[in-house]
Amino acid sequence: MHAVTEMQVFIEVVRQGGFSAAARRLGLAPSVVADRVNGLELRLGVQLLARTTRRHSLTEAGETYYQEACRIAADLEELESRLADDAASPRGALRVTAPMPIGRRWIAPFVASFAERYPEISIHLTLDDRYADIVGGGFDVAIRGGPAVDSTLIGRRLFDSRRVVVASPDYLARRGAPSSPDDLAAHRCLVFNTDPHFQAQWRFGRGAAARSVKVTGVLAATSSELPVVWALAGLGLAQKSLWEVAEHLAAGRLKTVLDAFEPEPASFFAIHPVSRSRSRKVALFVEELAATAGEIGGGG
């Protein structure tokens, strides 16, 4: 069996969490997938997966092989894609991930229009509030807040957005408005957190006055959209990007508090692996996405 084929099968087994799921994804029989992984381990002379009756987990050697295999597979895909791009119009698959709110509001409509302009590019869009493993997940482009600090990634700033603390008029009438971030300890806070805890860090102030305040939420969710839903229901305070709540503020359904302590605007980036930097379809996607960024970032 060709080494590259075995490597690709192994990557899919790890990504899908098992032989059966990988087999469905690859269109192979589970026994074939198992044979190819066994053949890979035999050829390498090392165990990559620790197998039990209920689950498979990576060994230390398996983790090392998986990380390097993902990089090699990404480089191979980029090479083939770039050669295809050079030979014809942009084509091939493009995998994009974005957080749920910005994905629904902006990325999904953009993807639809992009697909119309470039019909030979097929796009798979994943909307997930969890922090995506771009390289390990096989993504070409990720939309996320914060700087691109990983040396294996390239980031293009799309827009900046203000961060505001909001609550419903009903909640403020019942509980009063906090006069400083320190008052939040006495309020019902609504937090987004992908960890199984009720705490979050809310940023306040600018320059020398900037600080983080640890907030314990009375309600917490792994969906970044739910704190807005709860705030509209009068259940507490939420800190959100302005574009997420602008319509509710304009309609009077929410009001801002702690305006004097507003933090620096949050930056949003389109991030892609360095290995994709010469891909024509990735470059087109990022450039055109950045050109439309003002539509959502105008409130920043």
Higher pLDDT, 8 or 85: 8
- In this structure, which long-range contacts are made by residues 244-253, counting pairs with CB atoms below 8 Å and at least 24 apart in sequence? 244/101, 245/164, 245/166, 246/299, 248/166, 249/166, 252/169, 253/168, 253/169
Structure tokens at 17: 């969490």
pLDDT value of position 87: 54
Q: What is the C-alpha R_g of the chain?
A: 23
Return the closest-CA partner of residue 285 out of 151, 130, 91. Answer: 91
Chain segment 77-95, per-residue pLDDT in tens:
777 766 665 556 778 899 9
pLDDT value of position 300: 42
pLDDT value of position 298: 45
Across 137-151, 153-167, 204-218, 224-238, least confident range: 137-151
pLDDT value of position 140: 92
Adjacent-strand bridge partners of 267: 160
Report the chain's mean pLDDT, rounded to a whole number: 87
Note whether 154 and 271 are within 8 A (CB). Answer: yes
Residue 299 has pLDDT above 50, yes or no: no
Which residue intervals of the chain are DSSP H helices?
3-16, 19-26, 30-44, 60-87, 100-102, 108-117, 169-175, 226-232, 242-250, 280-291, 294-297
Question: What single string gives the DSSP state of each residue in 200-253?
Answer: EEEEE--GGG-EEEEEE-SEEESSTTHHHHHHHTTS-BEEEEHHHHHHHHHTTS
Residue 57 has pLDDT above 90, yes or no: no
> Which of 33-42, 85-94, 188-197 shows the highest mean pLDDT?
33-42
Higher pLDDT, 28 or 165: 165
Residue 270 has pLDDT above 80, yes or no: yes
CA 42/CA 64 separation, integer angstroms: 17
CA 182/CA 179 separation, integer angstroms: 8
pLDDT value of position 107: 93
Return the closest-CA partner of residue 254 out of 238, 274, 270. Answer: 238
pLDDT value of position 293: 81
Model's pTM, two decimal places?
0.65
Chain segment 200-240, per-residue pLDDT in tens:
889 999 988 899 999 988 898 888 899 999 999 999 999 99
Q: Write down all domains in the chain, each with its CATH number in brackets.
A: 3-80 (1.10.10.10), 89-160+266-297 (3.40.190.10), 163-261 (3.40.190.10)
- In this structure, which long-range contacts are made by residues 42-46, counting pairs with CB atoms below 8 Å and at least 24 apart in sequence? 43/3, 43/6
Chain segment 109-129, per-residue pLDDT in tens:
999 999 999 998 999 999 988
pLDDT value of position 195: 62
Beta strand pairing call for 121-127 and 199-204: unpaired
Task: State the average pLDDT over residues 184-200.
Answer: 83
Which residue in the block uniquely carries the two structure tokens 């900046």?
Answer: 160
Q: What percent of the chain has pLDDT over 90?
A: 48
